[in-house]
Structure 1
Amino acid sequence: MLSTCACSHRSPTVGMLKKRPYLFVLVSGIIVCLLCYLKDSESASNTTWSLEGEVVETQSSTRLNGVTVRIKGLERRVRTDANGRFKFDTVPEGQQTLQILKVGYQRFEQVIDVNASTPYLKIALEALSFQMQTIRVHSSNRALSQFEETTDLVLDEEELQRRLGMTLANTLADEMGISQRMMGRAIARPVIRGLGGDRLLILENGERTGDKSASSADHAVSIDPTTAKGVEITRGPAALIYGSSTLGGVINVKSNHIPQILPRRLDMHLTFQGESVNSGLTGTTGFTFPMGDFAGNVEWNRRLASDIQTPIGVLENTALSNVNFSGGASLIKPWGFIGASGSSYRSDYGVPGSPEGHINGVNIELDKQRYEGQMEYRFNTTILEKVKLQTAYTRYQHQEWESNGRLGVEFGLLTYNVSAMAHLLDNAIAGVWWEYRDHATDGFYWTPHTREFALAGFYLNQRNFDKLTLQGAIRYDLRRSEPFRPGAVVRAGAVQRRDFNGFSGAASGIYHWTDRLSTGATLMKTFRAPGIEELFSDGPHLAVYSYEIGNAELGPENGYGTELFVKYADDRFRLNLALFRNQIQNYLVPTNSGEKEWGSGAAGWLWIYQYMGHDVVMDGAEIQIGGEVLPQVHLQLNMSYVNGTIQTNGRPLERVPPLNGKFVISYTPAPLHLYVASRFSGSQTRLGEFEEPTDNYLVYDIGSYLNFSWWQLENMVVFEIENLFDITYREHLSRIKEAMPEPGRNLKLLYKLNF
């Protein structure tokens, strides 16, 4: 990483952001932990006991993550963690019935005699004969946790490793309705149903990531998927507990930085991954350990990659170097837990060159420090189940260096988040959320030093009837953007304080015709206030080949979404079908003005893009269908389509993915899984004013994975060849598709060891 000390002399505002942050989250968490530890927290009577154990797969003995464990009669439920463990506290003495549920496995029930001598439980689940090889889509089984049906996709740790890509977007890209906005393999962000940026929230343990990946195509997501313990994608009413702009959904990446279940022993893991297309190597190691009532977690990750090979040559300046470290601890008691963690993420990556921006490309260095605190207190009363408090502080530094060593653009961002959620026993969640952001720039990008304040309150409820499940949510947001030095008049307009407020709401109904078939509908109204860059930006952004100007007079976006869906699942066949329509008033997008800014860029000029608001409509459909055609032979097809139109002028909306999908044939003689897949995309000829068309393509992949135990060690090996025939193809959402196609043939190998 290049030294940035010189920048602090040029820019006091950015220099302020480079100071070491106060570790208030970590220190306060440790202090409260010690106070709680000194206090006698054993509030349960002598007739209650702890009940804990682990869930494994019958054949391979692999520990299963994300299994729902329920105590019938008490209506209490938990999920197993990344090591397959679960724990209930204050369970009444006597016989209790445990119910174990996981999609793709047979339902299991067992009567347990709960007393002082109840042993540690080890429960084995048997896989069903048919299990779709995809991120598991939750069925309409109402015995799952209270808001299970609002979570569309769940990727547990094992499935995450099977599909592990260089980025979060690459890991999820083959799933139904998900695309990726790219500027090379290392710079990618997910797009769901054509919506990305600030319209698709990416969270880290339920809070904002604190980076700038949503604001521009050249900004990377500051999360390495290798360190994640799970990924959840939520749409519908439940998404509103995380944010108001959730038409695209919410992606929550979960880690184990703050342990929530006390491990019985030291747990360690090692992960190694390599790929040939960029000589990429990744290594991750971590361990979780107990110390009395405390649990600690430490993890380290390193990723290196060279320039990407394509079928027509090397895509220069696409190398990558990441290093990631985290550590955390928590106090775990029958009443709940309290803990804190700290993490560091550093990345140095290249953005390919362009005659419009910089011929030799731009190198970007980012540095993020993050501190989190979490507390969960279980009341288990007739009204209140538990309360969860969470806080996060993130310091983010981002620099874009030109090939001549000159600093082009620099961003500094401080983010504070605090949230409180009360889980009510009447299938409801109520909470508040607060955020403060301090944003400064340096170099040749003249966005004024600005701070943002945000406050929101929300409520989510679910009602279960005989065959009908109803869900509803409301949210109200206040947001203020306040420049530190108001009064200036720039090309974006008058630099002054802007206040925004808006209401969001959603309702969903699911009718269960049978245990296998359900239909439903969702209605949503969302709100999004314009960001700092959309209001006040002014300067050349060479990494994305444009000169960007904000619009200080912008109003908020208001979105209206409608979805109809059908789900069917049995032991041999599964169908998911969804039709949706999203209408967004004042859709904010940087629009090519047709004018040039002279004196910038390698060619001496850049196109001027100014943020404008348009009314748009996006219609689409998704289908997933699969089944077992022969013993241990499965077929699966995913397809999605989005059609976007600007209603104000009738033109197609730019950067909308074409019809695309994936077809998989798999053979699963346990514990070995083999598959052949084809990824396909139609051509995109519905183009924005300055877009270029993209041809259709068909690309083949093959792969296998194996889980096995050896000397009580759990092993996973994944091997895959992407783009088997080295096909030359281009993705429509790639910002560099005119310069270079997508990567060529890529051999990937992953090995993971748990012990």
Structure 2
Amino acid sequence: MNVQRTLLASAILSALSTLNYANAQAASAAAGAAADAVVPKVIVTANPFGKSEGDQILTPTKILAGDELRDKLGGSLGETLSNELGVSASGFGAGASRPIIRGLEGSRVKMLENGMAVADVSGLSNDHAVSADGAVARQIEILRGPAALLYGSGAIGGLVNVVNERIPTALEDKPAGQLETRYGTVDKGRSASGSLDGAVGNIGLHIDGNIRRSDDYKIPDSRVLNDPSSSSGRLPQSFTRQDTLGAGASLIGDWGHAGVSVSSLNNRYGIPTLEGSQIDQSQMRYDLDTLLNKPFAGVETIKFKLGYTDYEHAELDDENKAEVIFANRALETRAELTHAPLAGWHGTVGMQTENAHFSALSGEGGPDTVPVTHSTSNALFVVEERDFGPVRVNAGARLESVKRRPLGNVERKFDLGSYSAGAQWPFTPGYSMGATVSVAQRAPATEELYSGGPHDATATFDIGNADFKKETSRNIELSLQKVSGLVRWKANVFQNKVKDFIYGNINGTLVDEEGNPGEELLQRVYQQADASIRGAEAEVTYNQHGEGLSLRGFADTSRGKLDHGGSLPLQPATRIGVDAGYRSGPLRAGLSVVRAQTQDRLASFEQNATPAYTQVSANVAYTQRMGSFDLTWFMIARNLLNEDIRLSTSVLKDVSPLPGRNFLFGVRTKF
């Protein structure tokens, strides 16, 4: 903890030390206005008020879009977001890596696509890939706080929204789109992605797709941690094969829009455990999106969304035989009404329903991992905002009823109530401080209640508990930030007390595929206990989006502990990092250095501390105009030092290092 405190103190003091410089900048009003003008306004689609990133005072938000998104784009959503403030990744090989926010993962971090749940099973286990494809995303949003209550009581950690605008909301004057292809040296990775938007009369049209192929990737050193005699070279079963295709159409007018879309995903990737396996994943998704502008007096918009997902993946052994087949068929509806200011309050009210059939059945005639379970959820929510003089107040509430009805087991019902409120005070122009408090309740997930079989990809035999209580999280967060000028900064501290926290405990017992004493699988027993998570984050930026030199420094840390003693499993390491960039006309370049400290705060079943590492990345791009096309040539270098990097948040940290030095070459065109 001394190292953590020193790092966070240094980062926060560094941020505060920019005050004098910022005040000097503010001395000239004209210079200040010019500084603000270089920062683009990117709208947060998942926010009920449709505000830009800089306006997210009560819900700390990050938006990846444009060049920044393309530079950070990885083969998985977790890899793409892994160096954002407070965000780490689960790191289960190249094919599956899910975002972890402030030490919370799984079903506590909700995955959305265009504001609707992705409805895959990535929250169940780290070996399951998120089915939303970042390669065709227009932007990716990270959201926490009161606004997250619109999307689920279980989003204690927050949510990630992948926005691909598959259902058009505006008419294009002429066809517009982009194409990109890239090649990576570390895994012979080849990918091509693109999207096209157009219009026929008042009907908007969209199509997008992505093809990705990569071989097993090279690793810098020995495969097994602290075992020089283990294999090296390429990491077995770290390949990926992915195809996505989506299309949508929408009727658009001054009144709003009404549209539909369909998309498919096929994904096959390796699981780099010592035993080795593969996952064959497929999904069909259908969406409907309707928005009415000012349909009645006092009503700004009415939205209705419907999404249906048919998801399946098979976990294959070394003979390509299905050991476990996971399936989820889910129907979600959302209705939202945003009202005009009423007694000074401006906000959104709505309702949401979810209906899902989930199962994880044996493909070999053995015990099922999770029985067929029908789950329903019905929720009412409200998020409101009002100014009291200079102080802006934001509050949200969500009431939800969740039922789990398994085949051959005990039916459970959970009544959930979640609330959040915060305030921001701009105590002087350009600076603000804020506080947010929240109480959020989460129903135990289906696998936490009813698991009772082998999960071969993680080499575990999972055992749930149908008597689990609902989780209740109580969170407080304090923030201080500078939001204008060339130099901007923010610092957050938070504490999260969770009653009846559910976690998987690997107790060391070895069993076979039937659950009897053996040597194939480790027992993972879901348990419940009170827990605490606390942490801090700080970030300072200079000229983040303008021409010339730009700089960013950040640090984050969090620690999760069980109240009765011991650490929560797979906690993120304390990090500190520096980014430098340069823009001049068509030329753009950047360098990033991230230092992660040794993570030795281990759960009872974790054996090895995760070593410290330094991750160095760089990028350079040049854009040229060719007629009506913008053509961008780029090169991205990752892990330039060829370090043996292992993620403390990965179940496979002892046997699956990240890729070694990698050079990505590509070209992108926009028209």
Contact 1:130–1:571 (CA under 8 A) maintained in structure 2: no
- Deviations 1:447-467 (Å, cap 9, x if unpaired)? 221100100000010002332
Of residues 243, 268, 288, the one that matches 1:323 is 243
- The residue identity in structure 2 corresponding to 1:405 is N
State the secondary structure of the residue aligned to 2:565: coil
Structure 1 residue 130, shift from structure 2 partner: 7.1
* AA of the residue aligned to 1:398: H
Indicate the residue corresponding to 2:644 in structure 1.
Answer: 728
How far, CA to CA, are the matches of 2:487 and 2:360 in structure 1?
54
Letter in 2 for 1:447: V
Which residue of structure 2 aligns with residue 509 of structure 1?
A: 423
Distance across 1 between alignment mates of 2:106 and 2:637? 30
- Give runs of ≥4 in structure 1 deviating > 4 Å: 105-108, 126-132, 141-148, 599-603, 628-631
* The one of 575, 591, 613 aligned to 1:676: 591
Instruction: State the distance in 1 between where 2:503 and 2:235 align.
Output: 28
Q: How many residues align?
A: 615
Partner of 1:198: 107
Match among 153, 162, 166 for residue 71 of structure 2: 162
Task: Provide the C-alpha distance between the structure 2 equivalents of 1:416 and 1:603, rounded to a whole number of angstroms.
Answer: 40
Separation in 1, partners of 2:262, 2:469: 37
The one-letter amino acid of 1:558's match is T
Amino acid corresponding to residue 208 of structure 2 in structure 1: E
Residue 218 of structure 1 corresponds to which residue in structure 2?
A: 127
Q: Deviations over 1:455-486 (max 9, x none)?
A: 00000100023321100001001000012x43
Is 1:269 matched with 2:178?
yes
Residue 280 of structure 2 aligns with which residue?
A: 365
Question: In the TM superposition, what whole-angstrom CA distance separates every residue of 1:149-203 from its partner, at most 9, and x where no partner exists?
Answer: 4361122244322221111111111111110001112210000100110110110
Deviation at 1:129, TM superposition (A): 8.8
| Structure 1: distance between partners of 2:266 and 2:31 | 43
- Identify which of 393, 400, 413 aligns with 1:499: 413
**AA at the equivalent of 1:551:** N
1:463 is matched with 386
Q: Retained in 1: the 8 A contact 2:379–2:400?
A: yes
Alignment of 1:86-235 (within 5 A): 148-149=56-57, 150=59, 152-235=61-144
SS at match of 1:657: coil
Partners of 1:699 and 1:147 in 2: CA distance: 31
Partner of 1:474: 397
Amino acid at match of 1:252: N
Q: Is the Cα–Cα contact under 8 Å of residues 95 and 238 in structure 2 kept in the other structure?
A: yes
2:584 counterpart SS class: coil
Shift of 1:144: 5.7
Q: How many angstroms does 1:567 deviate by?
A: 0.6
Could you tell me how far 1:631 is from its partner in structure 2? 9.1
The structure-2 alpha-carbon separation of the partners of 1:738 and 1:145, relative to structure 1 and needing over 3 Å to count, comes to closer
1:640 to 553, 556, 581: 556
In structure 2, C-alpha distance between the alignment counterparts of 1:276 and 1:106, rounded to whole Å: 44
Tell me what 2:451 maps to: 537
Q: CA deviation at 1:381?
A: 4.7
Range that drifts further, 724-733 or 185-194: 724-733
Q: Which residue of 1 aligns with 2:289?
A: 374
Deviation at 1:595, TM superposition (A): 2.4
Structure 1 pair 750–501 and aligned structure 2 pair: CA distance change class (3 A)? farther
SS across alignment from 2:466: coil
Counterpart among 417, 427, 436 of residue 332 in structure 2? 417
Which residue in the other structure is 1:334 paired with? 254
Contact 1:519 1:567 in 2 (8 A): yes
The change in CA–CA distance for 1:441 and 1:570 in structure 2 (over 3 A counts) is closer
Q: Give the TM-score normalised by structure 1.
A: 0.78
CA distance in 2, matches of 1:205, 1:327: 14
**Secondary structure class of the residue paired with 2:98:** strand
Q: Which residue of 2 aligns with 1:589?
A: 503
Measured at CA, do residues 600 and 145 of structure 1 come closer, stay the same or move farther in structure 2, by a change above 3 Å?
closer
Change (3 A) 1:658 1:144: closer
Specify whether residues 705 and 737 from structure 1 end up closer, same or farther in structure 2 by C-alpha distance, changes over 3 A only.
same
CA distance in 1, matches of 2:619, 2:479: 31
**1:730 match: secondary structure:** coil
Match of 2:265 in 1: 345
CA distance in 1: counterparts of 2:172 and 2:31, whole angstroms: 26
Residue type at the aligned position of 2:510: K
Question: In the TM superposition, what are the counterparts of 1:403-414 in structure 2 within 5 Å?
Answer: 403-414=318-329
1:662 aligns with 2:577: yes
Contact 1:247/1:582 (CA < 8 Å) preserved in 2? no
Q: Which residue of 2 aligns with 1:386?
A: 301
Q: Is the contact made by 2:547 and 2:584 (CA closer than 8 Å) also made in structure 1?
A: no
Separation in 2, partners of 1:719, 1:566: 36
Larger deviation, residues 381-390 vs 468-477: 381-390
Cα distance in structure 1, aligned partners of 2:279 and 2:31: 49
Aligned-residue offset at 1:248: 1.2
Amino acid of the residue matched to residue 286 of structure 1?
S
CA distance in 1, matches of 2:37, 2:548: 7
Does structure 1 conserve the Cα–Cα contact (< 8 Å) formed by 2:270 and 2:278? Answer: yes
Displacement of 1:268? 2.7
Q: Cα distance, 1:515 vs. partner?
A: 2.9
| 1:59 counterpart residue number | none
Deviations 1:199-250 (CA, angstroms, capped at 9, x unpaired): 1011011111011000001100112211111111111111111111223111
CA distance in 2, matches of 1:452, 1:380: 34
CA displacement, residues 34-84 of structure 1 (integer Å, 9 cap, x when unaligned): xxxxxxxxxxxxxxxxxxxxxxxxxxxxxxxxxxxxxxxxxxxxxxxxxxx
What amino acid is the match of 1:437? Answer: A
Per the alignment, do residues 231 and 446 of structure 1 end up closer, same or farther by CA in structure 2, a change over 3 Å counting?
A: closer
Contact 2:537 2:557 in 1 (8 A): yes
SS in 1 for 2:70: helix
Cα–Cα, structure 1 residues 712 and 538, in superposed 2: closer, same or farther, change >3 Å?
Answer: same
Compute the displacement of 1:729 (Å).
2.5
Question: Within the alignment, does 1:573 sit opposite 2:492 as a pair?
Answer: no
Find the counterpart in structure 2 of residue 622 from structure 1.
537
- Report deviation, 1:128: 5.9
Unmatched 5+ stretches in structure 2:
1-29, 222-232
1:610 equivalent in alignment to 2:529: no
Deviations 1:407-432 (A, max 9, x none): 21001110000010001112210000
Task: Choose from 135, 139, 146 the match for 1:237.
Answer: 146
Label 1:299 to 1:666 Cα distance change in 2 as closer, same or farther (>3 A).
Answer: closer
Native 8 Å contact 2:324 2:369 kept in 1 = no
**Pairwise CA RMSD:** 2.7
Q: Does 1:718 align with 2:647?
A: no
**1:568 deviation in Å?**
0.8
Indicate conservation of the 8 Å contact 1:135/1:175, yes or no.
no
Match of 1:698 among 587, 591, 614: 614
Secondary structure of residue in 2 paired with 1:448: strand
Quick check: 151-160 or 181-190, which moved more?
151-160
Supply the distance in 2 between the matched residues of 1:238 and 1:680 (Cα, whole angstroms). 32
Going from structure 1 to structure 2, the CA distance change for 1:281 and 1:600 (only over 3 Å counts) comes to farther
Residue 696 of structure 1 and its aligned partner are, at CA, apart by 0.9
The yes-or-no answer on 1:686 pairing with 2:601 is yes
Residue number in structure 1 paired with 2:357: 438
Distance in 2 of aligned mates of 1:248 and 1:747: 33
CA contact (8 A) 2:36 2:484 kept: no
> Do structure 1's residue 305 and structure 2's residue 220 form an aligned pair?
no
Alignment check: 8 A CA contact 2:596 2:612 kept: yes
2:600 alignment partner, SS class? coil
Larger of the two Rg values belongs to structure: 1
CA drift of 1:382 comes to 4.2
Give 1:531's aligned amino acid: A
Cα deviation for residue 396 of structure 1 reads 0.3
The match for 1:452 is 375
The residue type equivalent to 2:533 in the other structure is: M
Deviation at 1:720, TM superposition (A): 1.4
Give the conservation status (yes or no) of the 8 Å contact 2:35–2:485: no
Q: Give the secondary structure class of the aligned counterpart of 1:182.
A: coil
- Helix, strand or coil: the match of 1:337? strand
Deviation, structure 1 residue 442:
2.3
Q: Which blocks of at least 5 consecutive residues in structure 1 are unaligned?
A: 1-104, 109-125, 487-494
The verdict on how the C-alpha distance between 1:174 and 1:717 changes in structure 2, with shifts beyond 3 A counting, is: farther
